[in-house]
Amino acid sequence: MPEEPDVTRRTGRLARGAVSALLCLAATTGCGGAGEAGGAGEAGGAARQDGAAHEADGTASRPLTRREKSLLHDAEQTLVQQCMREAGFRLWKTPENPLPEHRDFPYAVDDADWAREHGYGSGLRRRVERLRAEDPNRRYLRGLSPQRRQAAVTALNGSDPQDGPHATLPMGAQVSRSSEGCTSAAQRELYGDLNSWFTAQMITDTLPSIRRSRVLGDAAYTTAVGKWSSCMRRRGHDHTDPGEARAAFAEPHGTAPSRREVRTAVDEAECAADSGLAATARRLDRHHGRQLDEQYRAELRDRTRLERAALPRARSAVRAG
């Protein structure tokens, strides 16, 4: 029996990808939703022609707005939903950001007001678990026979992940996805050149995690963490780094954070400001982000050009859906 899909595929945050992520299986390599990369893009093939009209006014290389990204998210879900319906299966759209108050702090909690309300977010994680349990797509899959469930997965993702687009990620991993199935069909309809889109999406989606890894390994960050740890000790917390402090509250035990969790998270945020850790992390994040943007300029340009060229098709898909 296929592995049950996971709506929280990204560690520490609620997945915000296209609805296809709900049904991705471990056996299907390179199945991903909407990216979190914030760079620009340049398309290949037909998409270059579609984007040429934007070059004169400079909009072709401008990163998309959040509203435009949301349009692409909605359009892809609409197209996948229609395709699955034609294949004889039901599929529900999922909100792009079903828990807006859920936030990611990759280096240290640096918002004391947020910490006073949510601590380290243990209560929010419980709500994420509830959203997963209540997700209609998960319930629908569970209600299918094993054979029908496998058929639904095949209808969505195709049968052979090696027969479609391939990409080599920055760290050397090879990813691929079937050229068949509703996910590929929807992306092909939106972006025109599935191979170019898959490559641009897969590579640029990895850049935020690489940026964070570089920040965490930077000597300036390590020095700032030492000052932060001293500040925390003065407040009664013996933690060597923010990750260690957060790990103490990793398992949610209720619908709201405990007073101890809130106190620790608030102290972390205030020490992040007082020690200079927050400012250092922001500076290093920008620095390594610029380096990655330069290193992967072509792939970022490809992504934005493809996305920008897809916007008219996305509007048409949403209107028709």
- Tell me: the pLDDT tens digits for 242-258? 999 999 887 766 668 89
Contact 108, 125 (CB under 8 A): no
Handedness of CA 53, 59, 61, 65 (dihedral sign): negative
Output the CA angle 316-179-95, nearest 5 degrees: 45
Say if residue 66's pLDDT is above 70.
yes
Of 207, 164, 187, 195, nearest to 33 (Cα)? 187
What is the token pair recorded at 2?
């296929």
- Give percent of the chain above pLDDT 70: 80
Q: Please state the rounded mean pLDDT for residues 144-156.
A: 96
Q: Which residue has the tokens 């792009």?
A: 96
- With beta carbons less than 8 A apart as the criterion, state whether 268 and 112 touch: no
Output phi, psi for 33, to 5 deg: -100, -155
Q: What is the pLDDT of residues 26-59, one digit of tens each?
A: 223 334 333 333 332 333 333 333 333 344 445 5
Checking if the pLDDT of 204 tops 60, the result is yes
Tell me: pLDDT of 1 over 70.
no
8 A C-beta contact, residue 120 and residue 109: yes
Residues 6+ apart with CB under 8 A from 185: 79, 83
* Angstrom distance (rounded) from CA 84 to CA 254: 37
The residue with greater pLDDT, 217 or 43, is 217
What is the per-residue pLDDT for 36? 38
Least confident of 10-14, 53-57, 304-308: 10-14
Percent of the chain with pLDDT over 90: 67
Considering only CA atoms, which of 210, 212, 203, 171 is closest in space to residue 298? Answer: 203
pLDDT tens digits along 265-303? 999 999 999 999 999 999 999 999 999 999 999 999 999
CA-based nearest residue to 177, from 16, 8, 18: 18
Neighbouring residues of 163: CB distance < 8 A, sequence distance ≥ 6 = 178, 179, 180
Residue pLDDT, tens place only, 70-117: 999 999 999 999 999 999 999 999 888 888 899 989 999 999 999 999
